[in-house]
Amino acid sequence: MSHEYRLIRSARRSLAIEVTREGEVLVRAPQRMAQSTIEHFVTSHTAWIEEKLHRQKTLAEKYPEPDAAERAALIAAANEIILEKVARYAAQMGLTPRRVRITDAKKRFGSCSGDNALCFSWRLMRYPDAAIDYVVVHELAHIVHKNHGPAFYAMIARYLPDYRDRIKLLKE
């Protein structure tokens, strides 16, 4: 079974498939790649696409977009709770982020810029406290390690030995 998808051609070298929160299938491909190659790639990844579409549907049902009042409450909670967690873990880890902001990001829970500014989505507030701690420590660790190598995860494990279990909370 082939899926409908939106094709995005760019100056990339490889093919990639993404399933958005809205259930749209995006296929990113190099400018000059043959359409038949793209079609074969999509067809060969049908099971993966089905799995991701099902997962996105489940997540959308479990975490529907909040109404204005709930959104405001979550943002207020994030500004209090996440900022407190950043301060606490930064002190434990001996790190100083350049600044910390709460954002409206939908695709990622947190980020660390090249100049060590941290951003966290208010949507994190819909997850268990242990998951929030993991995202905070993860982004703080990026101040020292700008990649996801072994030293990066060793640093996280130093402060959250059960970090793998916490990652699972973000995927439920």
Pick the CATH number of 68-171 from 3.30.2010.10, 3.40.630.10, 3.30.70.360, 3.40.50.300: 3.30.2010.10
Strand bridging mode 25-30 / 16-19: antiparallel
Q: Classify residue 139 as exposed, middle or buried by CB count within 10 Å of its CB (0-12, 13-18, 19+).
A: buried
Query: What are the pLDDT digits (tens) for 22-32?
Result: 788 999 999 99
The whole-chain average pLDDT of the chain stands at 93
Write the DSSP assignment of 65-129 as a string of letters.
Answer: PP-HHHHHHHHHHHHHHHHHHHHHHHHHHT---SEEEEE--SS-SEEE-TT-EEEEEGGGGGS-H
Q: Where are the domains of the chain?
A: 6-62, 68-171
Nearest to 138 by CA among 89, 77, 84, 88: 89
Q: How confident is the model at residue 1 (pLDDT cuts 50, 70, 90)?
A: low
Q: What is the mean pLDDT of residues 10-26?
A: 89
pLDDT digits (tens, 9 = 90+) for 102-122: 999 988 999 999 999 999 999
What digits encode the pLDDT tens for the residues 122-150? 999 999 999 999 999 999 999 999 999 99
